[in-house]
Amino acid sequence: MDKLDYKKAHKDLYLPKKMPSIINVPKINFAVIEGQGDPNGEAFALATTALYNFSYAVKMSYKGDNIPKGYYDYTVFPLEGEWDLVDKNIPSTVKSNYKYKLMIRQPDFLTEDLFQRFLTEIKKKKFNIYFDKLSFKTIEEGLCCQMLHVGSYDKEPVSFDLMEKFCEDNGYKRVSKIHREIYLSDPRKTEVAKLKTVLRFNIEKIED
């Protein structure tokens, strides 16, 4: 069985260039956890662990007696985060004011019924209070600007400025300050200067 590698199958979504580009993101199924607070805190770590535990349970389900219909081997997709602010009047540098949706893309064969089945199964094997916050959602981002950011997360504003300038020069505008980050690197194993993160936000065409 050939393994589906998201970096090869979906290069446009997960391997953009280091310069801004325009992309139309289709409907995608995700396992999602919503929360708020400092991403360096325990709650964020537990939420991330819950998402990975679930995602690997789905991937490894071919080893069980009840293999999902349409199962195919694949590489687990990377962690993604949609970021906003709880209080829009507080500077974005205050991390305790962050509001987020953490998510990991799921394979096409996963349905709502299968999601509930795997969630029930994993709760019997592991304990994590964030399993109860997991949901299965189909998200269509639509028209977006994105680029690959290399380096510290704290330096992302420089890349966002480049993206907004690119949009302005090409007849687009950013819809809101909400943005998405796709984490291609494991920060526990990667030098800060080499971290790779896809940055993306929604845009619309400016009418003439």
pLDDT value, residue 7:
85
Residue with tokens 């709880």: 86
The region of weakest confidence among 2-6, 64-68, 73-77, 92-96 is 2-6
What angle, rounded to 10 degrees, do the helices at 42-59 and 112-125 form? Answer: 110
Q: Answer yes or no: is pLDDT of 208 > 90.
A: no
Span 134-158, average pLDDT: 97
What are 54-65's pLDDT values in tens digits? 999 999 999 988
In terms of pTM, does the model score above 0.85?
A: yes
Nearest to 6 by CA among 64, 68, 79: 79
Dihedral through CA 34, CA 36, CA 38, CA 44, nearest 10? Answer: -30
pLDDT value, residue 117:
96
pLDDT bin (cut points 50, 70, 90) of residue 199 is very high
Question: What is the Cα–Cα distance from 14 to 184, expressed in whole angstroms?
Answer: 8
Give DSSP secondary structure letters for 132-201. GG-EEEEEEEEEEEEEEEES-GGGHHHHHHHHHHHHHHTTEEE--S-EEEEE-S-TTTS-GGG-EEEEEE
pLDDT value, residue 3:
84
Q: Answer yes or no: is pLDDT of 50 > 70.
A: yes
CATH number of 16-205: 3.20.80.10
Q: Do 1 and 107 touch, CB atoms closer than 8 A?
A: no
How many other β-carbons are positioned within 10 Å of the β-carbon of residue 141? 18
For the chain, give every domain's residue range.
Answer: 16-205
Span 19-40, average pLDDT: 96
Q: Answer yes or no: is pLDDT of 1 > 70.
A: no
